[in-house]
Amino acid sequence: MTGPTRLSLAIFLGLLLVLTWGSNYSVLKAVMAEIGPQAMIFARYLVTPACAVALMLWHFGLRWPRLPARDWLALAGLATVGHVIHVTVMTHAMHLSTAFSSALISACGPVFTLLIVRVLYRERFARVQVFGVMLALAGVLVFLSDKLGGARTQGLGDLLLLLGAVLFSAHTVAAGPSIARHGVVVVMAYCTFLASVPLVAMNAPWALDVAWLTLSPSLWLALLWSLAVASFAGWLVWGWLNEHLGVPRSAPLLYLLPPVAGLISWVALGESFGPLKILGAVMAAAGVAAAQFGPALLGRWRAQSA
């Protein structure tokens, strides 16, 4: 495949992925309205381990990598934080909150990652990063101001979304050494396997109360599409994009998720948002972009001006 052809394919897949992930927030809201968040988690950890098995067979055949006991302990910790706790918190948060809030607060993950790295490794922030972090956090407060002072359910959901974003960032930082040693496929698959048993067991009582056989074909399709396509296959496509475009060129696509998710939820679910909410979303997205890409852009600009 030639360079221009690969670039065109990458751009097409990137925009398709943004549309897929952006719509998935509304799909998840609709599915959970019917079966509840616990049954959603139960179904997710029946489907995604099967996908992980297929991925491991594709990469390694029947000769899966063997890991020492020390590495299994590290993966167990990652599975606990990144799956058992994070997925539980985020799923309930999305059920209580809105699709637009879920997309925006999830997009703030890089800011929390920077803060965690700053605390753990004492890395210094450039001034533009400090400005970006402050702007992003102020934007989130503006975005959430109407709900934190009003509806208790959605306010609780948004606070849980913030906790979920922090948990995911902590998992991202902690997973770095394991991914460097074993690769993202092995870490992702083994963590999924380790988390599946406790999550299925924890959520089975609620899942067993769902009349699965009476669910409509459209709901089954939405459930399988969300879990197998948007979630699992989506992350494989995202990995391919990072490999072929590079993270600096693929990461900005994530800033399209909140507006896409908001537009789809407005059309599909009737979600409404006024000028204050839009202002907060713009502030948060601009702050995350400044914190993530500001130093590199300023360095490039200074080099060209010199």
pTM (2 decimals)? 0.82
Backbone dihedral angles phi then psi of residue 229, each to the nearest 5 degrees: -95, -60
Q: Which residues contact 215 (CB under 8 A, 6 or more apart)?
A: 34, 35, 223
Crossing angle of helices 86-96 and 152-182, in 10° steps, is 150
More confident residue, 302 or 102: 102
Confidence of residue 268 (pLDDT cuts 50, 70, 90): confident
What pLDDT, on the 0 to 100 scale, is given for residue 253? Answer: 72
163 falls within a domain: yes
Which value, in Å, is the radius of gyration of the alpha carbons in the chain? 20
The overall average pLDDT reported for the chain is 84
In a domain, residue 285? The reply is no
pLDDT of amino acid 250: 66
Q: Flag whether 139 is in a domain.
A: no
pLDDT above 90 covers a percentage of the chain that reads: 33
Whole-number pLDDT of residue 35: 95
Other CB atoms within a 10 A radius of the CB of residue 74 amount to: 20
Highest mean pLDDT among 113-122, 176-185, 291-300: 176-185
Say which residue, 5 or 224, is predicted with more confidence.
Answer: 224
Find which of 30-34, 180-184, 286-290 is predicted with most confidence, using mean pLDDT.
30-34
278 confidence band (pLDDT: 50, 70, 90): confident
Which among 4-8, 76-80, 97-101, 283-287 has the top mean pLDDT? 76-80
| Confidence grade of residue 243 (pLDDT, cut at 50, 70, 90) | low
Predicted confidence at residue 183, as pLDDT, reads 86
Residue 86: predicted pLDDT: 93
In a domain, 293, yes or no: no
Show the tokens assigned to 49.
Answer: 């381990």
Instruction: Give the distance from CA 13 to its chain's centroid.
Output: 18
Q: Do the beta carbons of residue 252 and residue 107 sit within 8 Å?
A: no
pLDDT value for 242: 66
Domain of residue 53, residue span: 3-125+148-274
Give pLDDT tens digits for 40-88.
Answer: 999 999 998 998 999 899 999 999 999 999 999 999 999 999 899 999 9
- Give me the long-range contacts of 300-306 (CB less than 8 A, separation at least 24): none
Which of the residue ranges 41-55, 166-180, 272-286, 287-301 has the most confident prediction, judged by mean pLDDT? 41-55
Query: What confidence tens digit (pLDDT) does each residue in 132-177 have?
Result: 888 888 888 787 776 655 555 567 888 898 899 889 888 888 888 8
pLDDT at position 85 = 96
* CA dist., res. 28 & res. 265, Å (int): 11
The structural domain count of the chain equals 1
pLDDT at position 138, please?
86
Residues 6+ apart with CB under 8 A from 88: 41, 199, 202
Asked if 14 contacts 250 with a C-beta cutoff of 8 angstroms, the reply is: yes
Please give the single-letter amino acid code of residue 251.
Answer: A
Quick one: three-class SS letters along the chain?
A: CCHHHHHHHHHHHHHHHHHHHHHHHHHHHHHHHHHCHHHHHHHHHHHHHHHHHHHHHHHHCCCCCCCCHHHHHHHHHHHHHHHHHHHHHHHHHHHHCCHHHHHHHHHCHHHHHHHHHHHHHCCCCCHHHHHHHHHHHHHHHHHHHHHHCCCHHHHHHHHHHHHHHHHHHHHHHHHHHHHHHHCHHHHHHHHHHHHHHHHHHHHHHHHCCCCHHHCCHHHHHHHHHHHHHHHHHHHHHHHHHHHHHCHHHHHHHHHHHHHHHHHHHHHHCCCCCCHHHHHHHHHHHHHHHHHHHHHHHHHHHHHHHC
